Every structure is written in C-alpha cells, then in structure tokens.
Amino acid sequence: MRIVKFQLTRWRVTVLLAFLALLVGIPAVSSSAAAATTTGYVALGNLSQTPSPVDVYLYSSGNSSPQLVEPDVAYGTILPYTAVSPGSYSVKMRTAGSSASSTPVWSVNLTVKAGGSYIVVPLRTSAQAGSLQVIDNNLTTPSGKAFVRVIQADLNQQKVTFHCSCAKGTAGDIVTGAAPGTVSPQAAIPAGPWTMTATGPGGVGSLYVPLTAGQVHTEIVISGPDNSILIENVLDAAGAGVAPVGGVSTGFGGTASHGSGVPLPWLALIGAGILVTLASGLRLRRRRLTAKG
C-alpha cells in the first residue's frame, strides 16, 4: 500500500506541474497587450515597381544614424511591424546598394503615437509620379467584424474592382475603379472564410482570406509575372490588445497569408495534450498496481 500511495502522489505532482507550466505561458499575452499600448508600430515596405529593390532607412527625429536599416527590399514586400517609441521619425528609401549618404528616391516624415500602427510604403500613380505614403491603421474593429483595407499597387491596371465574397454583387465591392496608388478606407467585414477578388483590364486575381472578428487586414494588389494580377494579404493585427503582426516578405508575387501570432490557443492545446497523456498514464499505472496487488 505504501508503494501505491507513493506512485499516485508522484503522478499527482507531475500533473500539477504540467498545469502550472501552462499557466506560466499565459502572462506573455498580457505583456504583449501592455506593450501594444505603450509603443507604436511601423511596417516598412516597397510597393513601387521602380526602383526595385530599395534600401530602407528609419530615423528617429534629430538623429543622423538610422534606427533601422533594411537592404534590398523588393517590390511587393511588406516587412513585419517594428515596435518603436512614440515620437517623430523619418523614412528614407534609396536604390539598393546606394551609399547611406546618397539622395533618397523616397522620403517622408511621420509621427508615431502610443498604440498606433503605420504602414510606410512608396506608391506610384504612374511610371513618372509617386510618393512615400504613411498609412494609419485603426486597430479597433466593430464587434464581430474585421477591418479590410485595399492598396492598389499595380501600374498595369488602371482601374481595379476589389470584391469580397462576403456579399453578392456590388454589395461585396470594397473599392471600385481603383487607380494605381489608391489606398481605400478600412471596410468592416463580417468574420468568415471569404475569397478576395481583384478584377482589372488585364484579368482577375483572387486569394482566400479567412477573417476572424477583431482582425485587421491589408489586401495589396500587385503586378505578377506576365502582368497578371496578384493579391497579397497582410495581417496587421490579430485582435484587440495584441501587438501588430504584418509582413509579406516573399517579394514579387507573394500571396502567403499569415497566422495570428497569438500564443494562447497553442498553449491551451499543448497543456491539454500533456494533461490527457498524464491522466492516461495515471489510469494505466493504477491498473498495473491493482493487478500486482
């Protein structure tokens, strides 16, 4: 009987430790939420077909040394969000391989607010004209819905209609007749497994984009091989209180969607698996000990 009690006690301690290990992981989400409200987030990228690639520099106000340098950023690339302190910044983009002191092709100033989320990209309205734009994202979505914004960055398509399968006909159009360089307002879309479609004079491009309530997405129309139309999906935010995610690093033609980056569901699954495994082992051990007795 003493052996039985010892074995059962040891298994109870093991189960308890496994459950505590699960709980230890949970504060990471709270820390992420706290950080999201005390810092700002900037995602840099290149949505200009020329020049491509570019070297991207982020400077804090009054500082001649860059806070961040990203070389060889190709057309169609959006980098993951970088956490920065609130304040004034400047972004400069130079043709890839150029000296850090050379005249930038693109430049812009921006003010980062605590909890703010910004995408900074060059956009062309024609082969000769364009500018570096700061896109301010609203991360607070209506209840039960996600935000979707469309950026038209394909010079080959002079008019693009961007449609969400969440509604039939023109009711599902997020933007119509969008010229190159167009940045649409954020549209509130119901959560669901939707297909996004971009239709222009050169054809049609589509991408499956599942939307979860609270998420913020940016859909980017870019030119693909043979002037085809491609859509890139950027997950700007996975939900309220979660730090922005971002990132489409596949460059020309990247269409991979991104996970939410929220660790809590994975922790729950791992913890549940551990508990089930240990509980099964406990029942088996009890049976063996009973049989021996």
Where do the domains of the chain lie? 2-27+269-292, 39-251
Mean pLDDT, the chain, integer: 81
pLDDT greater than 60 at residue 221: yes
Is residue 239 within 8 A of residue 214, CB to CB? The reply is yes
Cα–Cα distances (Å) from 177 to 93, 151, 166, 207, in that order, read 29, 12, 19, 19
Rounded distance between C-alpha atoms, residue 130 and residue 201, angstroms: 21
Q: What are phi and psi of 101, to 5 degrees?
A: -100, 0
Burial of 64 (0-12, 13-18, 19+ CB in 10 A): exposed
Q: What are phi and psi of 160, to 5 degrees?
A: -125, 135
What is the predicted pLDDT for the residue at 36? 55
* 10 φψ region: left (φ > 0), alpha (ψ -120 to 50), beta (else): alpha
Any idea what DSSP says for residue 183?
B
Confidence of residue 282 (pLDDT cuts 50, 70, 90): very low
Rounded distance between C-alpha atoms, residue 240 and residue 271, angstroms: 24
pLDDT greater than 90 at residue 27: no
Largest interatomic CA distance in the chain: 88
pLDDT greater than 70 at residue 144: yes
End-to-end alpha-carbon separation of the chain, Å?
A: 9
Any idea what DSSP says for residue 172?
G
User: Which range, 20-29, 236-245, 265-274, 277-286, is most confident?
Assistant: 236-245
pLDDT tens for 208-217 read 999 999 999 9
pLDDT tens for 156-210 read 999 999 999 999 999 999 999 999 999 999 999 999 999 999 999 999 999 999 9
Q: Token digits for 247?
A: 């990132």
Q: What percent of the chain has pLDDT over 90?
A: 66
